[in-house]
Amino acid sequence: MGDRDQPNARAVIAAEIAAHGPMRLDRFRALANGAYYATRDPLGRAGDFITAPETTQAYGELIGAWMVEVWRAQGAPAPIVLAEAGPGRGTLMADALRLIDRLAPDFAAASSVHLIETSPTLRALQAARIGSRVAGWHERLATLPEAPLFLIASEFLDALPVRQFRRRGGAWMERAVAMEGDRLVWTEIPAEPLPGRPGEVSEEAEAWIAEAAHQVVRFGGAALVLDYGHGGGAEDTLQAVQGHRPVDPLAAPGEADLSAQVDFAALARAARAAGAVVYGPVPQGDFLRALGLPERTAILCRHAPPATARQLQAAARRLIDPDAMGLLFKALAVLPPGASAPPGFAP
């Protein structure tokens, strides 16, 4: 159950449907996930799902090294903003900073660290972990300082709301949530305004990458997106997960994590329309192998107790294996025009 001080997501959703009729899917997801992330730490074995940085320190380290290399390729500008959207427990950024401090003190000195996070619960965990290094927390990209931006988003965009459009005869319909008695049920309402395309659309994810791309084009830098997703045209990838198990997305809004696969074709289009150069998407397995995940894991294992070494090896396999996260998860990079191919995206 959620925190008693937090409004109950189900009650808020039911009241809004009673007052205004069926609720659009993006509104439903925003209310459900807002309550979900505000009230808990969902990550890890005791939570609802485990993410890449929680399985191995090598993940954040390699992303830190990627940022440094891209920064050097752009002439090592200073000062810069090193930012992460949806940093969870702050694990990825902690691992990246530890490596950066050791291997690239010039990058460390040039950068101020900014976190984009809406959940007070997770902000507190991030502060406990890397608070002394964080120059500021933000609700959105727009308030980041104006400087070259080195931005990471790992399993962030999948948490943003989606809409789902269908053509029924001559009419455009969109998926919505209604009440039947005291149960939440799926329904369809006429789509207003008319959508640009059928299927599942994340207007927020597209607006987010367009804004990141604008900043990168204007000031320099790079945005690196890692997430699970597809190459466009999906109709319904919405899923709810609670306690590491799939559940009905309508059963307990605010109590389960709702996510949808990222449409990488739509992200690439939106970033290009903003004037940026896009690399990828490439399968996460190829990306992490090219960055040296197996080699980094072998080095970490040399100094680790056998049980830890086994965990690190299993995590690396899970991130790379095509049957686990290696293929479904993908990497996409957004760079200013003229920038060379970043590590892991070589043709």
DSSP state of 48: S
CB of 130 to ligand SAH, least distance (A): 13
Q: Does 61 bind ligand SAH (CB under 6 A)?
A: no
- Closer residue to ligand SAH (CB): 110 or 287: 287
* The one segment of 48-56, 66-74, 192-200, 210-218 that binds ligand SAH by CB under 6 A: 48-56
Positions 168 through 227 that interact with ligand SAH (CB under 6 A): none
Strands (E), the chain: 23-24, 80-85, 111-116, 134-138, 149-154, 163-168, 171-180, 183-190, 199-201, 221-230, 239-242, 245-247, 257-259, 262-263, 277-283, 329-335
Q: Does 155 bind ligand SAH (CB under 6 A)?
A: yes
* The one segment of 67-75, 113-121, 271-279, 307-315 that binds ligand SAH by CB under 6 A: 113-121
Question: Which residue among 122, 225, 266, 332 contacts ligand SAH (CB under 6 A)?
Answer: 122
Q: Does 259 bind ligand SAH (CB under 6 A)?
A: no
Q: Does 116 bind ligand SAH (CB under 6 A)?
A: yes
Q: Do the beta carbons of residue 78 and residue 169 sit within 8 Å?
A: no
Q: Does 159 bind ligand SAH (CB under 6 A)?
A: yes
Positions 291 through 330 that interact with ligand SAH (CB under 6 A): none
* The one segment of 97-105, 117-125, 264-272, 290-298 that binds ligand SAH by CB under 6 A: 117-125
- Phi, psi angles (nearest 5°) of residue 225: -110, 125
Neighbouring residues of 180: CB distance < 8 A, sequence distance ≥ 6: none
Question: Which residue among 61, 95, 117, 200 contacts ligand SAH (CB under 6 A)?
Answer: 117
> What span, in angstroms and rounded, lies between the C-alpha atoms of 194 and 236?
19
* The one segment of 116-124, 271-279, 287-295, 301-309 that binds ligand SAH by CB under 6 A: 116-124
CB of 121 to ligand SAH, least distance (A): 8
Whole-angstrom CA distances from 263 to 122, 280, 331 are 26, 12, 12
Size (the chain), residues: 347
Residue 188's nearest CA partner among 172, 170, 205, 206 is: 172
Residue nearest to ligand SAH (CB): 86
SS3 per residue for 256-307: CEEECCEEHHHHHHHHHHCCCEEEEEEEHHHHHHHHCHHHHHHHHHHCCCHH
CB of 255 to ligand SAH, least distance (A): 15
Question: Which residue among 22, 47, 60, 88 contacts ligand SAH (CB under 6 A)?
Answer: 88
* Cβ neighbours, 10 Å, residue 277: 19
Q: Does 283 bind ligand SAH (CB under 6 A)?
A: no
Question: Residues in the site for ligand SAH, rule: CB under 6 A?
Answer: 33, 37, 43, 51-54, 86-88, 116-119, 122, 154-156, 159-160
